[in-house]
């Protein structure tokens, strides 16, 4: 099969499409013929070596963590899935014609493969950090960098849980944030004052999605460093805030999101799709940090 691999840390130019053996599913895993796979910021951060101390790679390395496709092989002990099922989920090295998924859910008929391909990492991350930051029903959550895939998922999952959200993004994305259920505001100087005006009852917790150096401001807004959590800024603990990088099992969260999709309560729009041989361009676009929703690689 064809798969994207790289043999050293570096820029997008190190990504290559190579012929490799098809992977075989282990116990509890499924193999899919990949129709589409999602690009996540962690993909290019790993490729560039930014995470080498926390998540060292063995070369040659594959890339990609989420995908959607059709099951063509079942590992031992798999239940609730059958050959030919259309699914989306989370695995490793998903930028390939075939990939192994460790966690998955059945794809709703009204959800395209391209949309579903961008769900798994965003949903797992959003579910995890909402729980870890400890925000409750009726409280207000600030989401810094809210228009990307994870931020979009946070806003919608928080809304379902009865949590009010304020999201930062460039002004041209404010209508998009409103459509998801968040109160939008701009990032940059004056953030503390703008948020105070929007949330006279206070902000109970804050999530840093974009890693744009705003941890001190988020602490000032919440008044409590333990209520600030970042998935992008490694310096957060130096300010007393927390980071979250270790994924949790997302099987239940993926199934719940599929139900929300069918009910019209959850969506992650696809901003742009790329063919597999344009994977380097997709990494470049993701690294620029201005994506609304998801970037998707089409394969099958």
- Four-way CATH pick for 123-243: 1.10.3720.10, 3.30.450.20, 3.30.70.330, 3.40.50.720: 3.40.50.720
The pLDDT of residue 120 is: 94
The pLDDT of residue 212 is: 80
Q: How confident is the model at residue 293 (pLDDT cuts 50, 70, 90)?
A: confident
The pLDDT of residue 245 is: 87
The pLDDT of residue 99 is: 98
Query: Token match 């970037």: residue?
Result: 295
Where are the domain boundaries for CATH 3.40.50.720 in the chain?
Answer: 123-243
8 Å CB contact between 220 and 192: yes
The pLDDT of residue 153 is: 95
- Does the reported pTM lie above 0.85? yes
Among 10-14, 51-55, 170-174, the range scoring the smallest mean pLDDT is 51-55
Q: Please tell me the CATH code under which domain 2-119+268-298 is placed.
A: 3.90.180.10
Residue 54 predicted with pLDDT over 90? no
Report, as an integer, the average pLDDT of 140-150. 94
Where are the domain boundaries for CATH 3.90.180.10 in the chain?
Answer: 2-119+268-298
Per-chain mean pLDDT for the chain: 94
Q: How confident is the model at residue 109 (pLDDT cuts 50, 70, 90)?
A: very high
Q: How confident is the model at residue 246 (pLDDT cuts 50, 70, 90)?
A: confident
Query: Which letter, b or e, does each residue of 272-288 get, where b requires 16 or more Cβ atoms within 10 Å of its Cβ?
Result: eebebeebbebbebbbe
Residue 52 predicted with pLDDT over 90? no
Report, as an integer, the average pLDDT of 176-194. 94
The full length of the chain comes to: 300
């Amino acid at each position: 099969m064809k798969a994207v691999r790289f043999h050293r840390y570096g820029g997008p130019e190190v990504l290559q499409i190579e012929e490799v053996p098809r992977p075989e599913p282990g116990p509890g895993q499924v193999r899919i013929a990949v129709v589409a796979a999602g690009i996540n910021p962690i993909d290019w951060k790993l490729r560039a070596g930014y995470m080498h101390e926390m998540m060292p790679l063995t070369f040659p390395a594959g890339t990609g963590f989420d995908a959607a496709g059709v099951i063509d092989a079942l590992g031992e002990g798999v239940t609730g899935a059958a050959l030919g099922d259309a699914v989306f989920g989370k695995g490793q090295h998903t930028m390939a014609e075939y990939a192994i998924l460790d966690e998955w859910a059945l794809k709703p008929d009204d959800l395209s493969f391209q949309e579903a391909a961008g769900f798994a990492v965003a949903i797992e991350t959003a579910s995890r950090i909402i729980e870890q930051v400890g925000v409750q029903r009726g409280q207000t959550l600030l989401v810094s960098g809210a228009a990307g895939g994870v931020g979009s998922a946070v806003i919608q999952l928080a809304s379902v849980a009865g949590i009010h959200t304020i999201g930062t993004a460039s002004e041209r994305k404010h209508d998009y944030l409103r459509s998801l259920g968040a109160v939008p505001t701009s990032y940059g100087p004056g953030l503390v004052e703008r948020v105070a005006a929007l949330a006279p009852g206070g902000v109970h917790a804050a999530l840093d999605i974009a890693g744009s150096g705003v941890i001190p401001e988020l602490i000032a807004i919440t008044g409590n460093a333990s209520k600030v959590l970042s998935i992008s800024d490694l310096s957060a603990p130096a300010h007393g805030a927390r980071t979250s990088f270790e994924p949790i099992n997302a099987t239940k969260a993926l199934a719940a999101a599929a139900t929300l999709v069918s009910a019209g309560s959850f969506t992650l729009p696809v901003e742009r799709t790329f063919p597999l041989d344009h994977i380097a361009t997709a990494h470049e676009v993701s690294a620029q940090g201005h994506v609304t929703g998801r970037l998707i690689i089409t394969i099958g």
